[in-house]
Amino acid sequence: MRYLPVCLDLHGARVTLVGAGTVATRKARLLARAGAQLQVVAPDIAPGLTQLLTEHGGHWREGEYRDADLEGSALAVAATPSSAVNAQVSRDATARGLPVNVVDSPDLCTFIFPSIVDRDPLIIAVSSSGQSPVLARLMRRKIESLVPAAYGRLARFAGRLRDTVKTAIPADTPRRLFWEQVMEGAIAEQVLVGREERAQAMLEERLADTERLYTGEVYLVGAGPGDPDLMTFKAVRLLQSADVVLYDRLVSEPILEMARRDAKMIYVGKQRDDHAVPQEQINQLLLELALAGNRVVRLKGGDPFIFGRGGEEIDQLAAHQVPFQVVPGITAASGAACYAGIPLTHRDHAQSVRFVTGHRRDGSLDLPWESFRSSNETLVFYMGLVGLPEICAQLIAHGRRPETPVALVERATFAEQRVLAGTLQDMPAIVEREQPRAPTLIIVGDVVKLRDSLAWFGGGAEPA
């Protein structure tokens, strides 16, 4: 990140604007809206800029720029047709320690103007770091369509009641949780439609309900198989609102980057024979964090209710009446199959699909092998890498053809995804040779044969 976004208070501050043409007028309007006192320096001035100075009380000094024009200024902007003059303004301002912007010359700037969505006092700035102003403006238009003008009214409502809420809820974390619930709930909706008196009454009623103020919430969120683009809108929204995030080893770094910067991140990953935090301790931690008033996201790879032990984690929350939500995610079977170009069901090859855990709670592979013999059913084994030789042997022993196609998908949906294809008979040797590493998923069935023709259209992963 080359530029740090900041918000400057320019109300009543003197700003030197060198240049008075069309481009300078656009900058002048923006600065005037921020309350700056404009000192314009140029031999000639555009009529629109003259009117702007009259309305906002600025001043135009007719003549060529000189270093003394920067005296007493908070920052400087150069917008002249002369590259030499612009460069001189940049050097002089930098020597004085003043922030300086030279229009269309990022190398001469110490700050740049972003594209702005103005919902005063809510301000949203979009910047391409000077690389593509057109793209920044395009993004601004997209954001404008998503943020109604009434959000400014909501910001003013919150500002007016900040002290009231702070008095009722002195602690920072419960207060932030309260405001997040207000901004995403019925109180905000009342403000957005102009019913501010009703909204204030609702807020005060909520503040009086002290039993509800200090209990947080828990969200079991499915992060999907790895690609951040596969997360749901709701999953992203809740992740970005969390005070604390508990995540496992299957959650990718790009997804973790979506969390709020000041959120507390707690790793509770588990893998075969190596549990960083025992499941019982995770359950207790979720409860304790919520009772302390935190908004907690339990972030899980795939889907929380498909081999994710989500049911165990909400049992204790429900017993203590802690509010929780479960947000489904794309399970690894769907992500791996799609990105590998393998349909899990197909009219000609498989009329059903079964998800199977690759090892039981005690680490054994005591599975109902007799029920897996149908050639019209696709089998998907989770966490089956270590047990793959036994899986293949047991399936053959219980009626599956040795030449039944098998695919092992390594790091599904990631850029480094790899697919190993073979049969029940030769897959153990292929795995021994290729040495894939977890996380992996095993797909068994005739649908795997379709991969050669569909892989390029599944998710962009190149066939291995």
Annotated binding-site positions for S-adenosyl-L-methionine: 225, 301-303, 306, 331-332, 383, 412
C-alpha–C-alpha distance, residues 304 and 324, integer Å: 13
**DSSP label at 224?**
B
Catalytic choice (69, 92, 227, 248): 248
Q: Give 180's Cβ-side CA count (13 Å radius).
A: 21
The answer to whether residue 166 is catalytic is no
Rounded Cα–Cα distance for residues 214 and 216 (Å): 6
> DSSP letter string over 148-213?
-TTHHHHHHHHHHTHHHHHHH--SHHHHHHHHHHHHTSHHHHHHHTT-HHHHHHHHHHHHH-HHHH
| Catalytic status, residue 446 | no
Give the span between the Cα atoms of 303 and 101, in whole angstroms: 49
Position of tokens 């966490």? 383
Element (H, E) at 300: strand 295-300
Which of 166, 160, 190 lies closest to 178 in space, CA to CA? 166
The tokens for 415 are 């850029």
Indicate which residue of 118, 270, 446, 449 is catalytic: 270
Write phi, then psi, for 363 (nearest 5 degrees): 90, -5
- Residues placed in the known binding site for NAD(+): 22-23, 43-44
Q: What are phi and psi of 205, to 5 degrees?
A: -60, -40
User: What single DSSP character describes residue 371?
Assistant: G
**Cα maximum dimension of the chain:** 95
> What is the β-pairing status of strands 244-247 and 295-300?
parallel
| Binding-site residue set | 22-23, 43-44, 225, 301-303, 306, 331-332, 383, 412
Cis preceding linkage at 436, omega within 30:
no
DSSP 8-state class, residue 70: G
* Active-site amino acid positions: 248, 270
